[in-house]
Structure 1
């Protein structure tokens, strides 16, 4: 009899069965994938998720302004975004899913204006 590669339990059932349960199969493959080097797609996905988390954290009211250095210190990477929206006044907002940001210079300090995606943005030039 063989044993499960994840939990070392004795496997019962079919002779070609490799894992004792679907949980062990999933957990084993998850652990294996975590040990592999990060792929480009995984790295980008991690940056996007972190950017979204930070934008959500600092934008509680739907529109906010925060110092660029504050977000960068938390791990924000502005070169990763999912899409952009150009406002009628020409301002270009970069979005991480439903949270957007635009860099502005205010009183000699670089800041980000943070916004949340609104329904009217779909009709006016989102790409």
Structure 2
């Protein structure tokens, strides 16, 4: 029986490996860091602005939550001046979905929805969106 004497290096830090033949990393930290880097590289390839878009959507949702839409009965609506939302950083271009009701296009940010009425936004809560 012939022993293989192949020297391998850690895929993350490059240190020489000792132990099992099939070993790829010198420790758990290197393994975790390697896989974290791989995931980050894949995300970066998906869309160059994905992180900024997701961040904007989350920010929109946080702003909408300040109006306690979840405490409202479904179908209840409140009107908020558009400048009030935009001054808090709300960006109406970014949302998770849209729907049309009575010929009007509503935009959703998860389970909160808004309708642009010129100088105001009409806000409401949509329980069926919460299931997504």
Counterpart in 1 of 2:121? 112
Q: 1:18 aligns with which of 11, 14, 25?
A: 25
Superposed counterparts of 1:80-99, under 5 Å: 80-88=94-102, 90-99=103-112
Counterpart in 2 of 1:44? 53
Q: Which 5+ residue runs of structure 1 have no aligned equivalent?
A: 120-127
Runs of 4+ in 1 over 4 A off after TM superposition: 11-16, 22-33
Alpha-carbon distance, 1:16 to partner = 5.0
Give deviations 1:28-63, integer Å, cap 9, x for gaps: 668889xxxx82222222211211221122243333
Equivalenced residue count is 112
Q: Distance in 2 between matches of 1:58 and 1:19?
A: 51
TM-score by length of 1: 0.59
Alpha-carbon distance, 1:79 to partner = 0.8
Q: Distance in 2 between matches of 1:64 and 1:19?
A: 58
Rg comparison, structure with higher value: 2
Q: Distance in 2 between matches of 1:91 and 1:50?
A: 24
Q: Which 5+ residue runs of structure 2 have no aligned equivalent?
A: 1-8
Cα 1:72–1:31 change in 2 (3 A) is same
